Homo-oligomer: A and B are copies of this chain.
Amino acid sequence: MDEFGSIRHWTNGRQSGELLHGQGVVLGIGDDAAVVEAPPGISGALQWVLAVDTMVESVHFNEATMAEADVGWKALAANVSDIAAMGGEPRHALVSVSAPGAWGPARIRRLYDGLYACADHYGVAIIGGDTTSSPAQLVVAVTVVGTVEAGKAIRRSGAQPGDAVFVTGPVGMAAAGLHYLLAAAALGGGQFVPPADAAAAGTAALVQAHRRPAPSVRAARMLAARGTVTSLNDISDGLSSEAWEIADASGVRLLLRESQLPVSGSMAVYARSKGINPLEWMLGGGEDYVLLGTMAASDAKAAKAALMEAGLPMYLIGEVEAGPAGVDMIAEDRHSGHRAEQEKRIPIQKKGYNHFTD
C-alpha cells in the first residue's frame, strides 16, 4: 500500500547525534515508535507540551506559492510556533506525509530537506515519520513535542486589565507575500514563482515571510522566564482573530493602538503599489507566526529592553481593559499629522479588517 518504501530513505542520518542526545532521544525513527526522556542537564520538574498542525495542498498552498522544501519548513514551523505560544521549548517532531504517487522520491526528499532545515534551525529532533501515497494532493501533518517548566505554560486566559499588549514582530508580511505570489502565479500560468522574481519585484522579504516563517521561540522563552507574561498566542490566523481569542478566554477587552503597530516597510510599499490598505493584512492576514501576548505593564519596558539586547524585536502595541470581551483599536489620525485630542476608538471584528466597520 505504501509505494514510497521505507521512511528511512529520507530520514537516515539526517541529524547529528549531539542534537538527538541533547533533546533526550533514546530511540529515533526505525522501530514501531520513538522513545524520549527528559533532556539531560535540566533541573526542576518538566511538563510536556504537544501540538499538531496540518498543511493541505490547494487549501493552504499550491505549486506556485510553495516549493516542496518550503512546505516542509512551514509545516514544522507552524507547530514550533504553537509550542512557543505556550512558553515552551520545542524538542521533538513526528511527521506524516501523504504525497501523490506522481511525486516520486526526489520531490519527497526535497520536502524532507525543508523539514530538516527547520528542525536543525530550532534544534528539534525528528523522531517519527509515516509516508504514504495520496491519490491527489499533498497533505503534511506534523506533531511537535516540547517541554515547559512545570506549571509555567502560558495560556490565553490570563490577561488582566492594566496589562500591556505586545507582539514579537511585524504582522501582515506573510499575507502580503501570498498576495504577491498569487498575482505572479496568475501571470506565470501557475508555475512556481522563483525567489529571484520576488527579489526583482522588491517583495523578497514578504515571500520569505510566507514561505519560511520564523517562529519567536527565543523571545517566547525569554519572556516566559520573566514570569510576568499573562497570556500568549501565536499569530496564525491574523492579529484581530488572535487578539479576540485572548479577549474571549480572559474575559477582557484588548485595546490596540494603530500608531504602535509594527509596519514592515516592504509590506507598506507593496500595499501602496496595489492600492491596498496595509491594515487589511496586518489585522486579518495570518500566518505571521509572531507572538501576541499580554504582560504586567510594570515589566513591559524592561522586557522590551532585554529582548532588544538579545537582538529580538518586541513592540508594545496597546493595553488590556476591563469590559465585555472584545478588541478595540485607536485609529491613527493621518490627516492632522498629530494625535487628535479625542481618540477615535474602532471596534475590531474577529475576522479582521475585511469586516472592519469604520
* Assembly CA distance A47 to B49 (angstroms): 15
Which one of A9-17, A94-102, A256-264 is at the B interface?
A94-102
A-side interface residues, number (CB < 8 Å):
60
* Assembly CA distance A58 to B137 (angstroms): 12
Tell whether, in the assembled complex, residue B94 and residue A26 are in contact, meaning their CB atoms are under 8 Å apart: no
Q: A96-B96, A132-B59, A135-B59 are in contact. Are A83 and B47 (CB under 8 A)?
A: no
Most chain B CB within a 10 A radius of its CB, from A33, A134, A135: A33
Q: What residue of chain B has the Cβ atom nearest to residue A131's Cβ?
A: B54
The reply on A53 being an interface residue by CB < 8 A is yes
Nearest CB on B from A250, distance (A): 12
Q: What chain B residues lie within 8 Å of A156 (beta carbons)?
A: 31-32
Q: A32-B85, A139-B139 are in contact. Are A52 and B128 (CB under 8 A)?
A: yes
Tell whether, in the assembled complex, residue B36 and residue A50 are in contact, meaning their CB atoms are under 8 Å apart: yes
Tell whether, in the assembled complex, residue A143 and residue B49 are in contact, meaning their CB atoms are under 8 Å apart: no
Nearest CB on B from A220, distance (A): 10
Tell whether, in the assembled complex, residue B1 and residue A32 are in contact, meaning their CB atoms are under 8 Å apart: no
Q: What chain B residues lie within 8 Å of A319 (beta carbons)?
A: none
The reply on A192 being an interface residue by CB < 8 A is no
Tell whether, in the assembled complex, residue B31 and residue A48 are in contact, meaning their CB atoms are under 8 Å apart: no
The reply on A349 being an interface residue by CB < 8 A is no
Interface string of A39-57 (1 = CB under 8 A from B): 0000001111111111011
The reply on A21 being an interface residue by CB < 8 A is no
* Assembly CA distance A234 to B48 (angstroms): 27
Q: What chain B residues lie within 8 Å of A177 (beta carbons)?
A: none
Tell whether, in the assembled complex, residue A96 and residue B37 are in contact, meaning their CB atoms are under 8 Å apart: no
Nearest CB on B from A107, distance (A): 17
The reply on A155 being an interface residue by CB < 8 A is yes
Q: What chain B residues lie within 8 Å of A27 (beta carbons)?
A: 153, 155
Q: What residue of chain B has the Cβ atom nearest to residue A150's Cβ?
A: B37
Tell whether, in the assembled complex, residue B130 and residue A35 are in contact, meaning their CB atoms are under 8 Å apart: no
Q: What chain B residues lie within 8 Å of A139 (beta carbons)?
A: 56, 98, 134, 139, 141
Tell whether, in the assembled complex, residue B49 and residue A33 are in contact, meaning their CB atoms are under 8 Å apart: yes
Tell whether, in the assembled complex, residue B1 and residue A51 are in contact, meaning their CB atoms are under 8 Å apart: no
Q: What chain B residues lie within 8 Å of A155 (beta carbons)?
A: 27, 31
Tell whether, in the assembled complex, residue B35 and residue A148 are in contact, meaning their CB atoms are under 8 Å apart: yes
Most chain B CB within a 10 A radius of its CB, from A52, A83, A128, A150: A52
Q: A96-B141, A133-B59 are in contact. Are A47 and B52 (CB under 8 A)?
A: no
Q: What chain B residues lie within 8 Å of A145 (beta carbons)?
A: 48, 50, 145
Tell whether, in the assembled complex, residue B134 and residue A141 are in contact, meaning their CB atoms are under 8 Å apart: no
Most chain B CB within a 10 A radius of its CB, from A134, A232, A234: A134
* Assembly CA distance A34 to B82 (angstroms): 10
11 A-B pairs (CB sep. < 8 Å)? A32-B234, A33-B83, A33-B88, A34-B49, A35-B49, A36-B50, A50-B143, A50-B145, A53-B130, A59-B134, A139-B139
Enumerate chain A interface residues (CB-CB to B < 8 A). 1, 26-27, 31-37, 45-54, 56-60, 81-83, 85-86, 88, 92, 94-96, 98, 127-130, 132-137, 139, 141, 143-146, 148, 150, 153, 155-156, 232-234
